[in-house]
Structure 1
């Protein structure tokens, strides 16, 4: 199937235990020539098998499902080489499960009642390498979720970040603020290609999946406090 301008369409898989939700998403996505729904699954365990069989670019992942939930499925999917991006679907705006999904490697989340253009934009965004999660949402998630292990998590995050150079640390903090590559380049006086290089090195050095997880580490380390 050809996409826009002859390019291969974005391959999307839908994971939700509600057949009506899957049908609605399939119909919605089917209206865009640059997106192709290649597979569906009704629970997290089936989702892992499905990914290995169809190799989608993006997985739209529900959280609460039988057998294996979306958190476990996201963690298993994102461990693999060349793994697809995962966008978590949730009914709740602030949900401790969403934060855990981000820690497991998800590139962002959507509300199930999101406008069609938001869903399509999120899919295109994560394929392009940008998380589909606004800075405001990151801050609200972190601040509103009660975490009795915050002190331990802070110390561990600071230890992980201690391997960074001063410049890498500046870029990491900028990511924690939710800045785009262009904003980081302007604020820190770098070229855009240099910023992209720093972000790639941070992902490798910190052993994370994406820039969202870098931002979470910065928040865990409380580098933005005050």
Structure 2
């Protein structure tokens, strides 16, 4: 996981003397002005080729299938289908595509859901125009790239969870979850929201919220992200 993009002269095929094809990039953002700005910045780079752009997730999925980009820069929140849902769909149709969420959202849950959906990177829109091409090159070369502030949050989540686990091993066993709470926890780990969980289990969103609160209390966790990490690590999904 990198905190700073590599220097362009070290990563650019054009400057290293190789004849590697340019990195094909698809830009997806519902704000046309911001999207065009990204395109303008990237088009100045000789080793980056912006092959397409899209203003919504559904169009992005179709465009990715047609153009097979190397890297997709995509916002998390867009009208209709979310960027995270589109990430899953694109990875299903174009497994080779590296997807980077480029967003204003600094919520841990969005970060975790994006990584679960197959995203390779998570960048906040505060990234400077000078850093963006280097980040694209790093992602295209197979590196993961997460904005440092978000990487810190992710590490903090895992560190906090590890400390809780260590404390639990010296105390009483973790309280038993009910069958319904287990069903809800599995769906939290699958990145479903409360409405989606309610629809699957034929219960109300209010009931889902109560179950999530009880799960966090029983497991002594603080967020849905910690709950999802716990469920994955303890192999709840393997038995689902």
TM-score bracket, shorter-length normalisation: 0.5 to 0.7
Once residues 127 and 121 of structure 1 are traced to their aligned partners in structure 2, the CA distance between those partners, rounded to angstroms, is: 10
Distance 1:73 1:152 in 2: 20
Q: Call closer, same or farther: CA 1:7–1:92 in 2, change over 3 Å.
A: same
Look up the match of 1:101. 114
Alignment match, 1:71: 84
The secondary structure found in structure 2 opposite 1:89 is strand
Q: CA deviation at 1:98?
A: 2.3
Change (3 A) 1:53 1:95: same
CA RMSD of aligned residues (A): 2.7
- The equivalent residue for 1:41 is 54
Gaps of 5+ in 2: 1-12, 158-220
1:41-91, CA deviations, whole angstroms, 9 ceiling, x for partnerless residues? 111111110100111000000011112110100111122353300010111
SS in 1 for 2:145: coil
Asked if 2 retains the 8 angstrom alpha-carbon contact of 1:10 and 1:34, the reply is yes
Structure-2 residue corresponding to 1:117 = 130
Residue 134 of structure 1: how far off its partner (Å): 5.9
Q: Which moved more, 1:61-70 or 1:146-155?
A: 146-155
1:18 aligns with 2:14: no
1:157-211: CA deviations, max 9, x gaps?
2439x9xxxxxxxxxxxxxxxxxxxxxxxxxxxxxxxxxxxxxxxxxxxxxxxxx
Equivalent runs, 1:28-177 vs 2, <5 Å:
28-80=41-93, 82-133=95-146, 137-141=150-154, 143=156, 146-148=222-224, 150=226, 153-159=229-235
User: Which secondary structure does the structure 1 equivalent of 2:88 belong to?
Assistant: helix
Structure 1 stretch displaced more, 102-111 or 55-64? 102-111
Unaligned runs of 5+ in 1: 163-226
Kindly indicate whether the alpha-carbon contact (under 8 Å) linking 2:108 and 2:153 is maintained by their aligned counterparts in 1. Answer: no
The structure with more radius of gyration: 2
Q: TM-score when scaled to structure 1?
A: 0.62
Q: Distance in 2 between matches of 1:111 and 1:135?
A: 10
* SS of residue matched to 1:45: helix
Q: Which has the higher contact order (CA 8 A, sep 6+)?
A: 2
Deviates more, 1:132-141 or 1:56-65: 132-141
Please, what TM-score do these two structures have when normalized by structure 2?
0.59
